[in-house]
Chains A and B, each alone.
Chain A
Amino acid sequence: MNKLKKYLGIVWLCLAPAIIYFLIKGATANIDLAGKKDINNPVIWIIIIGIFTPIAIGLMIFGWYAWKNEFEKPPTNSAKNNVS
């Protein structure tokens, strides 16, 4: 199980840039100043890409932690995460 957790970390690491790539591709294909739908609106795309980029980076960090065996033991106690 720990090996699976570790190697899936690579999948999460790769998935994040793929999400950003598809979002940017979606934006360039659908932004249309003359269009009336939400998906034609550049402001919405800027908001979505702006908010999704840090989330995707978070997914990469999650993948990196998994690769580094940080999730070997699943969390069972909030005291273990107490960082004092």
Chain B
Amino acid sequence: MSEIKLTINNKEITARSGQTILEIAALNGIEIPTLCHDERVEIFGSCGLCTVEINPHGGVSPRLFRACATVASDGMVVNTETERVRRNRTNALELLLSEHRGDCKPPCTLACPAETECQGYVNLIAEGKEKEAYDLIMEKIPLPSSIGRVCPHPCEDACRRELVEEPIAIAALKQFAGDRHAAEAISDGGNVYEPELNTGKKIAVIGGGPGGLSAAYFLRLKGHGVTVFDSMPYMGGMLRYGIPEYRLPKELLQKEIDVIKSTGVEMRNNTRIGSDITLGELREKYDAVIVAVGAWTSSSIRCEGEDLNGVLGGIDFLRESPDIRGKTVAVVGGGNTAMDACRTAVRLGADTVYNIYRRTRNEMPAEEIEITEAEEEGVVFKNLTNPIKIIGDAQNNVKSIHLQIMELGEPDASGRRAPVAVHGKEETLDVDIVISAIGQKLNPAGFEELNLTKWGTIAADTLTFATDLKGVFAIGDAVNDGAGIAVTAIGQAKKAAEAINIYLDEKCSKCSLPRNPYLVKDEKTAEDFKGEEKYLRVKMPHRSPEERRGDFKEINFGFSEEQAKREASRCLKCGCRQAMGGDISAFGVNTDCKLLNYANQYDVKPDKYNGLVHKRGVNTDIPNVNQNPEKCVLCGLCIRLCEEEVGAGVLGFVGRGYDTKVKAAGDLTPCENCGKCAEVCPTGALVKIRN
């Protein structure tokens, strides 16, 4: 073999004669995409992704060639990244994606603000791999026990099992995995989750709630020094001070905080920004700051008498748990905080607890189970009422609340039917305490340097969560849309942590601006699952209303191992196994699915080629392999490897043109059950069945 010299991307390269451009590029660290090439088999050249521009003899008019099949010659001038090359590759990807049918990510993950790998951990639980399940959750949610208990689980709303009978109890399964492993994580001897090598960078996290703690955890694992500052005596934020004990035992929360702490996160309580330390000081001492202070100021009822003694904010009430034995309480609001307040009031010994809500039960934003359980515990729901006035006695103590009777009018912008006053119909309730649980706001004291939105929240970029102040990021209830759910804050923590990694990495000069990843999504209807056997959702065992209303002990017992397995095995496994094993974030996609990875490296717009997409369904024609022809890119690797490497030759192409597909032979005797066909598949078209 003689030596040749050629130029690739203006770089002179020495190679051996007989080598292809693809081989030479790989040896020189130049990445050329390909879906159909594998060193073990003969060159095929079908996918059309490895095109490069070549001036065959240094001429002026370059042409496109397939790098996998073009043998380099002396003096060749090759360009692998010209606009023409990228256009042709993008086009090939768009065409492949236009016939690609499936779900890269399952609907549960897509619905989760933290993009939790629900399908992944649910199935690990089904397989009895609880620790693996726990580890997988920890990648996105470092507080599984707590979030499993408090999350209103948008994942379950999106679950396709609903199209069969009922969604999977995803949150309860998260709780299960968390409960069984948070304790173990600590007792195992400290740092179970080993941070990467110390970067020498220091980050301050303001606020020790779910968002702040999660951000601290993610950043610490990247090797940064992280300190969490919190104004309260204990960490946990709203999880500790806003969620009642009967829903989330604080002992469990503390265990999870300890897991985070065990990675080396420093935690400083009783430190308030503005009075104890200023944002400016933190910015000076630390390389980056995350503001995750939450929304701790209850919105006022805005009616006459709101300043009377005995009018309390919902979260203030939950945090302080005052003595209200024998008193009559009215809780205003229909959300989860309102329910928490109602049920806490019951447990604190209130005589009667009213819930005041201006719409009907159907419109209540609180979770259905919370409303039902509140009813069971004796809360009196006064739907379609709205406070007009709170009346006090001579000592300015609350005496009664005057209500306007409402009815539902036309739907408003949010789609909910707007409450309208019924003229002349009013009602008065004798009450001692009025709790306002109609929303929370940020207390901006100490953060005057930050720009606020017109809603009084901190303005942050919706993808990176950077504020207008250099090096300061803000997440959670305190930013943009304001108070939301804990898992949203955790999702933002992950994104902000990734943005900070890029921000702190001086070498990362070409780290591109993040954009939302391209993912293939499918639409399914009940029709698609009509053959599916029905298995009802496993009911969560819980304490009776009579028993539980007297104390703050946790209501739910959690799943047993058997229940958890049974529930988890109901999963329909909507997401693509190939795409799930890896990382998909706004900052890049790196999965086992080469097609998805490339799709995100090129700016694909496959919609312009919307056309016929085959509906072929999954089969198990190949032993121990699930074949989904709807995801096949016809690279032929499975066929060729089976024939050339394994020598079995049980796979082949059938059909012509657009109807071509890969099919197993009728006689599978030569099949060695080696699964190499699935291993070599660049997409999720062939997937080994896990044992």
Q: Do A and B bind each other?
A: no
